């Protein structure tokens, strides 16, 4: 257990070893599926950054890498359903196979919106890879093409996923303790007294 985060961890949902195995599995599948194709990997900032860094090192192909930043959470623990693009792509998608990399797909609204925006640029294909999939939280019908783990509706933090912009650097995915959520968390991992 990482000492500085100990007081806010309710339960470790996914260990760093489990995550590493999933990333390896996904990288192998993506490598096989995109062999001899021009692949543009798009990381959805900021939550996917840790997963993306590990994943692209497991994709054994020459890729083009770009980033997009969207917001549907703000400082909340649930998606608002309103998607805003904060940073758009720098690389044109026309004729490319686009693979979006997300930290978590829950309502599906962000992915549905981004897929529509990307398709307007005439890519060869558009697919998504997500570390976490929460199908019980769907508000629209979508397909997640590459999934690390399917989980329930619980709010999770770590390995890129934040809680009020904190805890992205945890090497595991955890469910914050009920007490920590009710009291709020400070940047140093202590709960407010």
| Residues involved in catalysis | 106
The CA distance from 132 to 156, in Å, is 10
The CA distance from 104 to 123, in Å, is 23
- Specify the residue for token string 């399917």: 150
- Specify the residue for token string 């760093």: 16
Q: How many of the other CB atoms lie within 10 Å of CB of 97?
A: 18
The CA distance from 123 to 39, in Å, is 10
């Amino acid at each position: 257990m990482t000492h500085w985060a100990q007081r806010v961890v309710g339960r470790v949902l996914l260990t760093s070893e489990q995550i590493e195995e999933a990333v390896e599995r996904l990288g192998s599948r993506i490598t096989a599926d995109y062999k001899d194709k021009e692949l543009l990997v798009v990381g959805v900032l900021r939550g996917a950054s840790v997963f993306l860094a590990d994943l692209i090192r497991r994709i054994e192909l020459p890729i083009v890498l770009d980033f997009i930043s969207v917001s549907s959470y703000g400082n909340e623990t649930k998606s608002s359903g309103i998607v805003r693009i904060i940073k758009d792509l720098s690389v044109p998608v026309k004729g490319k196979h686009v693979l979006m990399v997300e930290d978590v797909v829950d309502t599906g609204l962000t992915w549905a919106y981004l897929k529509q925006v990307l398709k307007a640029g005439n890519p060869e294909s558009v697919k998504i890879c997500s570390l976490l999939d929460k199908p019980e939280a769907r508000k629209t019908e979508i397909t997640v093409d590459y999934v690390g783990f399917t989980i329930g509706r619980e709010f999770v933090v770590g390995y890129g996923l934040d809680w009020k912009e904190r805890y992205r650097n945890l090497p595991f995915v955890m469910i914050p303790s009920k007490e920590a959520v009710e009291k709020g968390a400070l940047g140093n991992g202590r709960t407010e007294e």
